[in-house]
Amino acid sequence: MLSFGGTRTYHRMVVGIEDAGFEVRDMISWISNKTFPKSHNLKDEWAGWGTGLKPTVEPIVMARKPLIGTVAHNVLTHGTGALNIDGSRIGAEVRTNSPAGGAGLLDRNSFPNASSQTSKEVEGRWPANIILDEHTAGLLNEQSGVSKSTDSPRNNSARSNQSFGLEDKNVTGGHSDSGGASRFFYVAKASKRDRNEGLDAKASGSLNMRTDSHLVANGMETQPSKNSHPTVKPTALMEYLVKLVTPPNGTVLDPFTGSGSTGKAAILNGFDFIGIEMTEDYLPIIKARLEHAETEFAKAQADEGLF
């Protein structure tokens, strides 16, 4: 489970998630410059003072239901409980990954045949718990300048391999790439049209979704021309997050759908989606954006000859 929240509500959100029976596993920090400060400006002799900072960090809580047995047993039995690391790696540089592949994350009883695993080539770095937007990535690169990563032999005969019962192997660590410091993190680049995609034409009505009554005129459903939601998440960000935690052929549940960004991301990646939203004004926007995503996904499948 992933849950967004502002820094002011983060602690209450964590407590609520734990009270609901989830285990908090990590926190992802989405660092974005496209936010507005919520501050009251003071006057007179206190001119220039305010009551709040600009909220450029939005914490995302990563939590899961308590496991039944080991991680491996839970994944094999219920199809959930792990992270899609290789599907969420950062960058395109290829490296040789240790057969332990992150030793210490799973106990050796999780994979009794661990000794039979071999080194493999993987593309990109291990996903981090920091995500940047393109503006913040640019600022970071300006400060860091260009650096170069180099491959280096690394002996994995240390305790991590021994604890897995693995043979001693020398594998390559590091990446032979260069660039700014932002290459170590995922950068969610939002397109200019992302927010209003699907709102420039009348929805087809293929989704079974209730529509707000004030948008029906003369018996004909009208279409909103733009996305009026105040905090639209970039689809690129939500695609990355749903791929990280959703198993193959899985279902994404969003109890606070907003304008449908999570649903759009889920559909574009072939997942089923269930969305819940209490504000009826957003329903036509959600409907149009999800229908557009369905159309785009169908086109992509047809181009690949999948149907």
The terminus-to-terminus CA distance of the chain in angstroms comes to: 31
Q: Map out the domains of the chain as residue ranges.
A: 193-307
Q: How far apart are CA 205 and CA 288, in angstroms?
A: 9
The pLDDT, as a whole number, for residue 36 is 77
Q: What is the pLDDT of residues 157-173, one digit of tens each?
A: 444 443 333 343 444 45
Q: How far apart are CA 246 and CA 64, in angstroms?
A: 12
Residue 24 CB coordination number (10 Å): 16
Check if the beta carbon of residue 280 is closer than 8 Å to that of residue 290: no
pLDDT for residue 296 is more than 90: yes
User: Considering only CA atoms, which of 246, 239, 241, 240 is closest in space to residue 75?
Assistant: 246
Q: What angle do CA 184, 185, 190 make, to 5 degrees?
A: 140
pLDDT for residue 230 is more than 50: yes
More confident of the two residues 267 and 92 = 267
Check if the beta carbon of residue 165 is closer than 8 Å to that of residue 116: no
Lowest mean pLDDT among 27-31, 138-142, 214-218: 214-218
pLDDT for residue 176 is more than 80: no
DSSP assignments along 168-219, one per residue: P-EEEES---EE-GGGGSEEE---TTGGGTT-SS-----S-----GGGEETT
Lowest mean pLDDT among 2-11, 66-75, 282-291: 2-11
Q: What is the pLDDT of residues 89-115, one digit of tens each?
A: 998 777 766 554 443 344 434 444 444
Q: Across the chain, what does the average pLDDT equal? A: 80
Q: How far apart are CA 93 and CA 95, in angstroms?
A: 7
E strand or H helix that includes residue 75: helix 71-78
User: Considering only CA atoms, which of 213, 297, 217 is closest in space to residue 263?
Assistant: 297
Cα 36 to its chain centre, rounded Å, is 22
| Burial class of residue 49 in the structure, from the number of CB atoms within 10 Å of its CB (0-12 exposed, 13-18 middle, 19+ buried) | exposed
User: Considering only CA atoms, which of 178, 264, 234, 205 is closest in space to residue 58?
Assistant: 234
The β-bridge partners of 60 are 4, 28
pLDDT for residue 3 is more than 90: no
User: Considering only CA atoms, which of 237, 231, 229 is closest in space to residue 134?
Assistant: 237
Q: What is the pLDDT of residues 146-155, one digit of tens each?
A: 988 776 655 5
More confident of the two residues 93 and 47 = 47
Check if the beta carbon of residue 264 is closer than 8 Å to that of residue 235: yes
More confident of the two residues 208 and 63 = 63
